[in-house]
Amino acid sequence: MSWDKTYKKEICPCGKGALVQEVREDDWNRVEFGNPYIECEECKTKYKIIERHFFQPPWKGDGICYYLVPIDLVDDAVYENKYTNIDEYKLAQEDFSKCLKCVYSLNVLNEALSELKKISNCSSAKGFAREIIKLRKRYLHSCRLKELTQEIIKAINTYDEGPNFELIRAEDERNSEKRAAFWEKVKAVGREIF
Ligand SMILES: [Zn+2]
């Protein structure tokens, strides 16, 4: 099997060199793109190329956009969620109510609690109650109705203490807003290439 190499080129900002990307194509028309680079001594000192990744199906391309930006542009939207290190499994071992708070919203816990009050054993649970029972069995390999009811009540009563689902989600949203603002800045000071 052999790869045919070609190069995509664009003129660099100063006009004396180029922005280059290697394109490899094999006998079955599969295409691979290399990382673009700046082939100009002058522009290399003023610009850099950054990548933006998209989630998209493979047949729509590799899901990467490239931007040429000033070399001193700093990515100030580095993902910092203070709750990223939460280990649900570990929390569940420690205290299942703590795990419940991180996985479910307060509304869901309340709804599950009222569902549990209507039933006499775990196997007849429906809706969120059933989901929570599945989670407990996965992490702790057992689930008794009385015990679980106590844990959900504890989770509801102490919801505002320590990490919980609402705080984690708010942090995620704050981060994606920061990320979106950064890409706006990139488009304003740089340009998309290739
Ligand atoms: Zn140049």
State pLDDT tens for residues 124-139.
Answer: 999 999 999 999 999 9
One domain, residues 39 and 69 = yes
Total of domains in the chain: 2
One domain, residues 9 and 73 = yes
Query: Residue 171 domain-assigned?
Result: no
4 CA to centre of ligand 1 in angstroms: 27
Query: Residue 167 domain-assigned?
Result: no
pTM of full prediction above 0.75? no
19 CA to centre of ligand 1 in angstroms: 8
- pLDDT tens string 57-94: 766 667 889 999 999 999 888 777 788 788 999 999 99
11 CA to centre of ligand 1 in angstroms: 8
Distance CA 28, CA 67 (A): 30
46 CA to centre of ligand 1 in angstroms: 9
One domain, residues 47 and 114 = no
| pLDDT of residue 183 exceeding 80 | yes
Task: For the chain, state the CA radius of gyration.
Answer: 26
Query: Residue 126 domain-assigned?
Result: yes
5 CA to centre of ligand 1 in angstroms: 24
Distance CA 191, CA 48 (A): 11
Helix (H, G, I), strand (E, B) or coil at 16: coil
One domain, residues 31 and 61 = yes
One domain, residues 8 and 56 = yes
One domain, residues 116 and 48 = no
What integer best gives the mean pLDDT of the chain?
Answer: 92
194 CA to centre of ligand 1 in angstroms: 16
Side by side, the strands of the sheet bearing 47-53 are 47-53, 64-70, 191-193
What pLDDT is attached to residue 7?
95
One domain, residues 138 and 187 = no
Q: What is the mean pLDDT of residues 168-174?
A: 90
One domain, residues 157 and 96 = yes
Domain boundaries, position 119: 88-162
180 CA to centre of ligand 1 in angstroms: 29
Query: Residue 116 domain-assigned?
Result: yes
One domain, residues 47 and 75 = yes
Query: Residue 61 domain-assigned?
Result: yes
Distance CA 59, CA 80 (A): 32
pLDDT category at 2 given cuts 50, 70, 90 is confident
Concatenated DSSP letters of 47-92: EEEEEEE----GGG---EEEEEEETT---------TTTT--HHHHH
| pLDDT of residue 151 exceeding 80 | yes
**Greater pLDDT, 116 or 1:** 116
Query: Residue 169 domain-assigned?
Result: no
The CA-based dihedral angle spanning residues 129, 130, 136, 139, taken in that order and rounded to the nearest 10 degrees: -140
**DSSP letter, residue 25:** E
One domain, residues 59 and 33 = yes
pLDDT category at 186 given cuts 50, 70, 90 is very high
Beta bridge partners of 5: 24
Query: Residue 92 domain-assigned?
Result: yes
110 CA to centre of ligand 1 in angstroms: 62
| pLDDT of residue 20 exceeding 90 | yes
Contact 31, 22 (CB under 8 A): no
Query: Residue 168 domain-assigned?
Result: no
Distance CA 36, CA 141 (A): 51
pLDDT category at 55 given cuts 50, 70, 90 is confident
Q: What is the mean pLDDT of residues 33-40?
A: 95
